[in-house]
Amino acid sequence: MIDPHPDLRTEISRTLWYHTIELAPGVVTPGWFDLRPVVDQLPWPDVRGKRCLDVGTYDGFLAFEMERRGAAEVVAIDLDDHREWDWPARLRATGAESLAELAGPEKGLGFQIAAAALGSKVRREGVSVYRLAEADLGRFDVVVCGSLMIHLRDPVAALEAIRSVCAGELMSSEQIDLRLTILHPKLPYARLDGTSQLCQWWTPNTAGHVRMLEAAGFDVVQRGKPYADPFGPGHPVPGRDVRSKLVSAVRRSRLGNDGVPHVAVVARPAL
């Protein structure tokens, strides 16, 4: 059988994919995570006819989803240089180079390939979340931010910057520490890394995620239940040691699959 999309498959092979996205019938990117099974579980604000922003878009899955749901305009922001990540001190000299070897030197290539294949009108801007400003991008009716805060040294400052351009609602979907959520369902806690090769910093429990938003000047108006971002076809195979198997079993029991625990909430700028 003749492959109807050989050129697209070649394009896909040029970069590492974070998101699993169907770009054409039977053509799916090998993302580390596959949000398609859980995307409808998120507490989506109504984006129809609205101006929307996706913060930390990477390959653009959430931005394209807002466009699919009827947004009038979608802007997506992310860094243009691997060196701009919040690298821990131990990795600052080598982190960007290592990431470029893994993901490719051209930051945002996956987004470009996906947008072209989908015929998308989403506009990507190379802007750090810390530098979000109304004077540069204007204000947005709906802002979405997914799986970004864990990679930031100062997530509260980032959320304050998001608040400065949010005229309506923010849907914040972030990784949580499931153990801290189970042990301390009401008290805000977070686990600090700061040395990881994955450039990870703070992993809050559910209450900690809410408190970060409140500390940044948001009022939380809707809380979703914890869920897991499923691993995609490109994700490294999880460990098979006893501890890894136990963690996977707990996640499957609590969340339905053994992906990475997340929780999504909707918030509005406090008056």
229-269 pLDDT, tens digit per residue, is 999 999 988 777 888 888 888 898 889 888 999 999 999 99
pLDDT of residue 1: 52
| pLDDT above 80 (res 3) | no
Antiparallel, parallel or unpaired: β 166-175 and 260-269: antiparallel
In this structure, which CATH number among 3.90.45.10, 3.40.462.40, 3.40.50.150, 3.30.9.10 belongs to the domain 6-269?
3.40.50.150
Share of the chain above pLDDT 70, in %: 99
pLDDT of residue 241: 83
95-138 residue pLDDT tens: 999 998 888 888 899 999 999 999 999 999 999 999 999 999 99
pLDDT of residue 169: 98
Please, is 183 exposed, middle or buried when counting C-beta atoms within 10 Å of its C-beta (0-12, 13-18, 19+)?
exposed
Nearest to 65 by CA among 212, 173, 158, 223: 173
4-50 residue pLDDT tens: 678 999 999 999 999 999 999 999 999 999 999 999 999 999 999 99
Number of CB atoms found within 10 A of residue 236's CB: 7
Write b or e for each residue in 154-182: b if 16 or more Cβ atoms lie within 10 A of its Cβ, otherwise e. Answer: ebbebbbbbbebbebbbbbbbbbbbebbe
200-218 residue pLDDT tens: 999 999 999 999 999 999 9
161-200 residue pLDDT tens: 999 999 999 999 999 999 999 999 999 999 999 998 899 9
φ, ψ at 91 (rounded to 5°)? -110, 0
DSSP annotation of 144 reads: E
